Amino acid sequence: MKPQLLLIDALNLIRRIYAVDANQTHHSDEKMIASSCARVNHACKKLLANVSPTHAIAVFDGDKSWRYHYYKEYKHSRSPMPSELKQALPLFKDAIEQTGIVVYQPINDEADDVIATLANKAANNAISSTIVSTDKGFLPFLSQHIAVYDYFKKQFINEDDIHNRFAIPKNRLIDFWALAGDKTNDVPGVKGIGNKSALQIINHNDEIELALNSDTLSPSLQKKLQSDMAMFIISKNLVSLRCDINLGFSLKQLRLPAN
pLDDT at 20: 83
CA triplet 8, 21, 161: central angle to 5 degrees?
A: 45
Pair (190, 128) in one structural domain: no
Pair (179, 104) in one structural domain: no
Q: Which residues pair with 255 in a beta bridge?
A: 55
Distance from C-alpha of 192 to C-alpha of 208, rounded to nearest angstrom: 16
Strand order from edge to edge, sheet including 146-150: 102-104, 55-59, 4-9, 128-132, 146-150, 155-157
In this predicted structure, the answer to whether residue 22 has a pLDDT above a threshold of 80 is no
Domain of 194? 162-239
Q: Percentage of the chain surpassing pLDDT 70?
A: 98
Considering the domain boundaries, does residue 102 fall inside one?
yes
Considering the domain boundaries, does residue 87 fall inside one?
yes
Which of 26-30, 32-36, 111-115, 196-200: highest mean pLDDT? 111-115
In this predicted structure, the answer to whether residue 26 has a pLDDT above a threshold of 70 is no
Task: Please say whether the dihedral angle defined by the alpha carbons of residues 120, 60, 139 and 56, taken in this order, is positive or negative.
Answer: positive
Task: Please say whether the dihedral angle defined by the alpha carbons of residues 20, 22, 28 and 30, taken in this order, is positive or negative.
Answer: positive
Distance from C-alpha of 13 to C-alpha of 15, rounded to nearest angstrom: 6
Pair (186, 136) in one structural domain: no
As a whole number, mean pLDDT of residues 168-184 equals 96
Count of structural domains, the chain:
2
What is the band of 23 on the pLDDT scale with cuts at 50, 70, 90? confident
Pair (76, 194) in one structural domain: no
Indicate the range of 27-31, 120-124, 164-168, 193-197 predicted with least confidence. Answer: 27-31
Considering the domain boundaries, does residue 48 fall inside one?
yes
pLDDT at 216: 80
Distance from C-alpha of 114 to C-alpha of 241, rounded to nearest angstrom: 9
CB atoms within 10 A of CB 101: 23
Q: Cα 72 vs. chain centroid, distance in angstroms?
A: 20
Pair (89, 215) in one structural domain: no
As a whole number, mean pLDDT of residues 51-65 equals 95
Pair (27, 136) in one structural domain: yes
Considering the domain boundaries, does residue 259 fall inside one?
no
Q: What CATH number is given to the structural domain containing 145?
A: 3.40.50.1010
